């Protein structure tokens, strides 16, 4: 028998009558890690320690709502006849694209409330987001979900029979696509920090690099997955979304000026002195 990554024997921690799902715990850990990193980057640039606690709270709540809404909308057939399951996020089912879209706009709103320029807040958040995503992907391992095609590679993941998709019941090991995405996001976080530390990304464009990088990684990982998914013209919806992220991030970086990006997400003009006082992008 070839080597393989074992799956956890349980997806929850039982403390008497209390049951703590590892999926929810990894999501929470990812959120705290992201806020911690964003706060450190912000404070290092002269910002207040209170800012990212406030922004992070709004982003976490809205992002969770957006991620669940995206999953339900793109996989609504799975909820037919059992709409009460929509609220059971602890069982899995969060669409990262939805969380990113909603969380980004709510985060910009929260940053404006703290007197921060949108482009600076987005650049601060850019490396923190893939860090949260990477940690959160561990939850898929505990839930034995979002794996890929059958595989005999040494790093294939063993999946219990009850979690195997229809048509794949005779296979025991699969591509650990959640692990691929986790490693990709960790690498993306590192690259963004490296670019920012060496001031190789113009102000306002680090977030564009993140969007491009996330879309690129999601594109090839999504192509390996075999779980049920809604399709458009025979292609998984998430692949189309990943393509849009790649093109959008690239267009933002190449064609968008700092002034254009600032006005796109911020309908008011920040005072120049305030922007210079909390300059997190240079």
> Where in the chain are the domains?
12-277
Q: According to the model, what pLDDT value does residue 275 have?
A: 43
Closest to 212 measured CA to CA, from 176, 254, 154: 254
Task: Place 173 in a pLDDT band, splitting at 50, 70 and 90.
Answer: very high
Q: According to the model, what pLDDT value does residue 35 have?
A: 96
Joined tokens for residue 207: 């977030």
User: pLDDT at residue 277 above 90?
Assistant: no
The whole-model pTM stands at: 0.85
Q: According to the model, what pLDDT value does residue 19 have?
A: 85
Q: According to the model, what pLDDT value does residue 264 have?
A: 42
Q: Please give the backbone phi and psi of residue 157, each rounded to the nearest 5 degrees, phi first.
A: -105, 135
Q: According to the model, what pLDDT value does residue 58 have?
A: 96
Task: Place 91 in a pLDDT band, splitting at 50, 70 and 90.
Answer: low
Count of all residues that appear for the chain in the document: 282
Q: According to the model, what pLDDT value does residue 167 have?
A: 93
Q: According to the model, what pLDDT value does residue 36 have?
A: 97
Joined tokens for residue 233: 């013209």
13 bridge partner residues:
20
> 260 burial class (0-12, 13-18, 19+ CB within 10 angstroms)?
exposed
User: pLDDT at residue 262 above 60?
Assistant: no
User: How many Cα atoms occupy the beta-carbon half-sphere of 70 within 13 Å?
Assistant: 20
Closest to 131 measured CA to CA, from 33, 258, 231: 33
> 127 burial class (0-12, 13-18, 19+ CB within 10 angstroms)?
buried
Helix, strand, coil abundance in the chain, percent, nearest 5: 60, 5, 30
Helix (H, G, I), strand (E, B) or coil at 34: helix
Q: According to the model, what pLDDT value does residue 74 have?
A: 79
Joined tokens for residue 212: 């491009």
User: How many Cα atoms occupy the beta-carbon half-sphere of 204 within 13 Å?
Assistant: 20
Identify whether the C-beta of residue 242 lies closer than 8 Å to the C-beta of residue 215: yes
Task: Place 77 in a pLDDT band, splitting at 50, 70 and 90.
Answer: low
Q: What is the mean pLDDT of residues 200-229?
A: 94
- Which region, left, alpha or beta, applies to residue 93 given φ > 0 means left and ψ of -120 to 50 means alpha? left
In angstroms, what CA-CA distances link 163 with 44, 143, 172?
45, 9, 10
Joined tokens for residue 52: 């990212």
Diameter of the chain measured on Cα atoms: 66
């Amino acid at each position: 028998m070839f080597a393989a990554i074992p799956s956890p024997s349980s997806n929850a921690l039982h403390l008497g009558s209390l049951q703590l799902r590892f999926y929810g715990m990894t999501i929470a850990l990812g959120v705290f890690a992201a806020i911690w990193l964003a706060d450190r980057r912000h404070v290092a640039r002269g910002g207040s320690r209170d800012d990212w606690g406030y922004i992070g709270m709004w982003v976490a709540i809205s992002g969770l709502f957006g991620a669940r809404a995206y999953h339900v909308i793109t996989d609504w057939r799975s909820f037919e006849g059992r709409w009460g399951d929509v609220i059971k996020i602890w069982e899995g089912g969060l669409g990262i694209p939805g969380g990113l879209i909603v969380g980004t706009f709510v985060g910009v709103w929260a940053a404006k409330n703290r007197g921060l320029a949108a482009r600076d807040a987005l650049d601060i958040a850019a490396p923190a987001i893939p860090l949260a995503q990477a940690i959160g992907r561990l939850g898929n391992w505990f839930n034995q979900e979002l794996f890929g095609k059958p595989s005999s590679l040494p790093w294939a993941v063993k999946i219990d029979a009850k979690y195997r998709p229809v048509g794949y019941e005779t296979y025991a090991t699969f591509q650990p696509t959640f692990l691929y995405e986790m490693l990709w996001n960790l690498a993306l976080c590192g690259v963004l920090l490296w670019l920012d530390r060496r001031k190789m990304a113009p102000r306002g464009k680090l977030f564009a690099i993140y969007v491009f990088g996330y879309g690129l990684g999601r594109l090839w990982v999504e192509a390996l997955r075999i779980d049920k998914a809604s399709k458009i013209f025979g292609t998984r919806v998430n692949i189309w979304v990943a393509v849009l992220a790649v093109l959008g991030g690239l267009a933002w970086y190449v064609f968008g000026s700092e002034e254009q990006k600032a006005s796109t997400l911020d309908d008011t003009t920040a005072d120049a002195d305030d922007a210079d006082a909390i300059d997190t992008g240079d």
